[in-house]
Chain A
Amino acid sequence: MKAIITVVGKDMIGIMAKVSNVAAEAQANILEVTQSVLDGYFAMIMLVDLSAMSWDVDELEKALRKNAEGMQIHVMHEDVFTSMHHV
């Protein structure tokens, strides 16, 4: 199953590294990343494959939030987006 990780917050060194490290620990395979830095604000959206992950989606979100404090992080199942935005 795929999930979307979104990270929004003030730009600082190491955000990408922190998020990728947690994903690696959780055995979440990063498929695609898109990011932008606008006026000092960082927004990143990552598509991950969770089929090899043994953690709960909840646990992944908690670990990401703990590790990248100060950033707004959400992890959501891909189905939520595809069901809502496609006719």
Chain B
Amino acid sequence: MLNVSDILETISMIEDENLDIRTITMGISLLDCADSDIDRSCEKIYNKILRLAGNLVATGERIEKKYGIPIVNKRVSVTPIAMLLGASGGDPVKYAVTLDKAAKAIGVNFIGGYSALVQKGFSAGDKELIASIPEALAKTDYVCSSINVGSTKAGINMDAVAMMGKVVCETAEMTKDRQCIGAAKLVVFCNAPEDNPFMAGAFHGPGEPDCIINVGVSGPGVVRSALAKMDDRDDLLKVADKIKKTAFKITRMGQLVGSEAAKMLGVPFGIIDLSLAPTPAIGDSVAHILEEIGLEQCGSCGTTAALAMLNDAVKKGGVMASGQVGGLSGAFIPVTEDQGMIDAAHAKSLSVEKLEAMTAVCSVGLDMIVIPGDTPADVISALIADEAAIGMVNSKTTAVRVIPAIGLKEGEELDFGGLLGRGPVMELSRLSPSKMIARGGRIPAPMQSLKN
């Protein structure tokens, strides 16, 4: 039944190829913590998070020991805070400080949900939350923020897009003495999923149940290693098949861990996000998979095609392995978190324009890209609009997480340390989109939205 080569393969995947559970994220609804008194609301939030997630880290460690599988991160995501702010009014940063305090008390390393969903327009709490983001992310360590500015159904809220360009700049500015890290904790989305377990874009959508466990697996190293063992002349169908089978194994591990965590915590198991998420560690790079498929360096012609195949094969394998696949589920291309991408950016093989094309075929967007510190807010807004348009038209999630490197010029590097990695400043077009951004309003929903 169990054969020797399977056993050795599994061990090798974990020991040598960086197979791990990237995150267990507990999603917690804070709707029952809403209160017209903001301090009361914060108190209820703190207590609920401690009650439900108090054992999350310990449970993660127990599972790690039981199965011998590393669980790299334990995290929490909450209801978009703008919704609670709408009920209470007051200073939104209080919510951020509360979330940060709770995160520190339970020992998780990020808490996501300082968010607003404004794809169709603004409601109570939204504008105030958005305006508070720079201060909130400067004052806290573990809070992550995300704003959904568009969707296939609603179109793109260009007023929000205009605001977010400025917010990204200010957030970087307020943390310029800390490698502009504020901007690394802020994501602008189109078609944001409500159950994504990965930071910085994780939040617990209003349609989700009261409490849930979502798992993010990962294993770019495993996929690359499987491909490296193939013959150079194996055709792409065979390559896709290999990726599919490998993704199956990776996802099954996530399924095992996720069900166990849910059982131990007494909370329903939500989804597995089977995204291939890289880290800066050697052998853990998505770019290297693309190069293994047969490209001289990530960013060359052929990169988009290779990524499209990879993204699709990962999904097909994963879907067979689990009945509950959700979140983003595809390949991630965060530049600073992927050694292959960092090298390609330094070598100028990879450009923001190429990355934009790649976002059309993979699961995330323009992620962890360091841009010149003097990039005008309008240009960032227009970049967000471009990315949102790709997501809106193709009915997929896209996002922008760029870090203006205040005080740095092209070629210099920001280094966040740890999992957020490092990266060189990448060039962006300096042509002005100001007139378009100043118009504001909404880009209407495309024909694709009329599916009924």
Contact = CB atoms under 8 A, between A and B. Distances in A.
Contacts of A84: 6, 10, 249, 252-253
Which of A43, A61, A77, A83 has the most chain B CB atoms closer than 10 A to its own CB? A83
Given A79-B256, A82-B2, A83-B253, A6 B65 contact: no
A45 B68 contact: no
B435 interface: no
A74 interface: yes
Contacts of B69: 80
What is the interface of chain B mostly: helix, strand, loop, or mixed?
helix
B4 interface: yes
Contacts of B248: 87
Given A83-B252, A85-B249, A87-B320, A45 B66 contact: no
A85 B253 contact: no
Nearest to B3: A85
Contacts of A61: 68
A58 interface: yes
Given A4-B2, A34-B4, A45-B4, A80 B65 contact: no
Interface residues of A, number: 23
A6 B11 CA distance: 9
A57 interface: yes
Nearest to B254: A83
Interface in A29-87: 34, 43, 45, 47, 56-58, 61, 74-85, 87
Interface in B238-252: 248-249, 252
A76 B10 contact: yes
Interface in B1-49: 1-4, 6-11, 15
Interface of A: 4, 6, 34, 43, 45, 47, 56-58, 61, 74-85, 87
30 contacts: A4-B7, A6-B7, A34-B4, A45-B4, A56-B65, A57-B65, A57-B66, A57-B68, A58-B65, A61-B68, A74-B11, A74-B68, A76-B11, A76-B68, A77-B66, A77-B67, A77-B68, A78-B2, A80-B67, A80-B68, A80-B69, A80-B253, A80-B256, A81-B2, A81-B10, A82-B2, A83-B253, A85-B6, A85-B10, A85-B249
